[in-house]
Amino acid sequence: MLDLYTWPTPNGRKIHMMVEELGIPYTVKPVNITKGEQFDPAFLAINPNHKIPAAVDWKGPGGKPIVLFESATILEYLAEKHGQFLPSEARARWTVKQWLYFQMGGVGPMFGQQGHFNRYAPEPIPYAQQRYDNEVKRLYDVMNRRLGDVPYLGGDYSIADMATYPWAMGWENRKVDMADFPNVQRWLAAIAARPATQRAWAILSDNVTKPGPISEEHRRAYFGDMQYQKRS
Ligand SMILES: N[C@@H](CCC(=O)N[C@@H](CS)C(=O)NCC(=O)O)C(=O)O
């Protein structure tokens, strides 16, 4: 049985997409990161980096429990364990990993910073907004060109798509003209239509942070004293 420490954010959603695709049993362990629950000592013992997602597989390698954090690690782990969504043939496997890490090193950080400087920064900083708006456009363009050649980022549907979709789907708030990215549109629609994606979105859906001002507690947890407190 898998315990999934999670919250309805793009990084959390990735793992819900995977477990719903696999159809494996799992327990949802909500960590309300808007209230600072990621700093609870019990959660810090699971992820010292105090971020969701994290997972405990009580039947890990050798039949012993394994604790995992970092969304790509959890996706790779589950793909390997269940032999799905990560091809076994070497060339195809490296292609999937390449697009998975394109998400981890590019799409996630850049889209995240764009959200920060456009939605959360206490005052507008035009240079920062422009920098991340440009990066987001550039990354949609990279995806669009790739998806002109293949149906999914890794070729067939894979953990690379599950990692990227939750970030790429909310384009309405990303200051892009989707007419420029028809292949991305086609890809988003194909993934949205998957029953597993729909099930993944139903989980914890009452807790999604809505666009607009956030509470003081939420700000402290994400960007303030709670986030930067020294912990021994
Ligand atoms: N690289 C990490 C990023 C995880 C991450 O940034 N999680 C966010 C939610 S999407 C979080 O838990 N934030 C709470 C915090 O920073 O305290 C991963 O892919 O798992």
116 shares a domain with 29: no
Please give the number of the atom of ligand 1 that sits closest to the Cα of 70: 20
Distance from residue 110's CA to the centre of ligand 1 (Å)? 13
Please give the number of the atom of ligand 1 that sits closest to the Cα of 52: 12
Instruction: Decide if 198 is inside a domain.
Output: no
Residues 142 and 180: beta-carbon distance below 8 Å: no
Question: Residue 4 — left, alpha, or beta (φ > 0 → left; ψ -120 to 50 → alpha)?
Answer: beta
70 shares a domain with 10: yes
Which stretches within 119-192 are classed as H helix? 126-149, 159-168, 182-192
Distance from residue 165's CA to the centre of ligand 1 (Å)? 16
Q: What angle do CA 74, 80, 83 make, to 5 degrees?
A: 130
CATH number at residue 62: 3.40.30.10
Ligand 1 interacting residues, C-beta cut-off 6 A: 9-11, 33, 38, 50-53, 70-71, 227
What three-state secondary structure class fits 69? strand
Instruction: Decide if 114 is inside a domain.
Output: yes
Which of 57-66, 107-116, 131-140, 210-219 has the least mean pLDDT? 210-219
pLDDT of residue 211 exceeding 90, the answer is no
Residues 217 and 35: beta-carbon distance below 8 Å: yes
- Determine which residue's CA is closest to atom 1 belonging to ligand 1: 70
Task: Please report the pLDDT score of residue 203 as a whole number.
Answer: 96
pLDDT of residue 4 exceeding 80, the answer is yes
Residues 169 and 8: beta-carbon distance below 8 Å: no
Task: Please report the pLDDT score of residue 106 as a whole number.
Answer: 98
Q: Report which of 201, 145, 207 is spatially closest to residue 170, judged by C-alpha positions.
A: 201
Residues 70 and 130: beta-carbon distance below 8 Å: no
Per-residue pLDDT tens over the stretch 134-147: 999 999 999 999 99
Per-residue pLDDT tens over the stretch 24-71: 999 999 999 999 999 999 999 999 999 999 999 999 999 999 999 999
144 shares a domain with 95: yes
The count of domains in the chain is: 2
72 shares a domain with 40: yes
Q: Which domain holds residue 156?
A: 90-193
Average pLDDT on 170-190 reads 97
Average pLDDT on 121-137 reads 97
Task: Please report the pLDDT score of residue 213 as a whole number.
Answer: 87
Distance from residue 157's CA to the centre of ligand 1 (Å)? 24
49 shares a domain with 140: no
Q: By percentage, how much of the chain surpasses pLDDT 70?
A: 100
213 HSE (CA, 13 A, CB side): 4
Distance from residue 149's CA to the centre of ligand 1 (Å)? 31
Instruction: Decide if 202 is inside a domain.
Output: no
80 shares a domain with 162: no
Instruction: Decide if 12 is inside a domain.
Output: yes
Q: Report which of 219, 230, 232 is spatially closest to residue 33, judged by C-alpha positions.
A: 219
Distance from residue 113's CA to the centre of ligand 1 (Å)? 12
Distance from residue 209's CA to the centre of ligand 1 (Å)? 14
Residue 53, preceding bond cis, omega within 30 degrees? yes
189 shares a domain with 139: yes
Count other Cβ atoms within 10 Å, centred on residue 215: 11
123 shares a domain with 51: no
- Determine which residue's CA is closest to atom 11 belonging to ligand 1: 51
Please give the number of the atom of ligand 1 that sits closest to the Cα of 33: 14
Environment class of 62 (CB within 10 Å of its CB; exposed 0-12, middle 13-18, buried 19+): exposed
CATH number at residue 169: 1.20.1050.10
Instruction: Decide if 18 is inside a domain.
Output: yes
168 shares a domain with 115: yes
78 shares a domain with 96: no
Residue in 11, 214, 220 to alter for ligand 1 test, most ligand atoms within 8 A of Cβ: 11
- Determine which residue's CA is closest to atom 14 belonging to ligand 1: 51
Instruction: Decide if 203 is inside a domain.
Output: no
pLDDT of residue 232 exceeding 80, the answer is no
94 shares a domain with 79: no
Task: Please report the pLDDT score of residue 161 as a whole number.
Answer: 99
Q: By percentage, how much of the chain surpasses pLDDT 90?
A: 96
Distance from residue 39's CA to the centre of ligand 1 (Å)? 12
Instruction: Decide if 176 is inside a domain.
Output: yes
102 shares a domain with 77: no
Instruction: Decide if 66 is inside a domain.
Output: yes
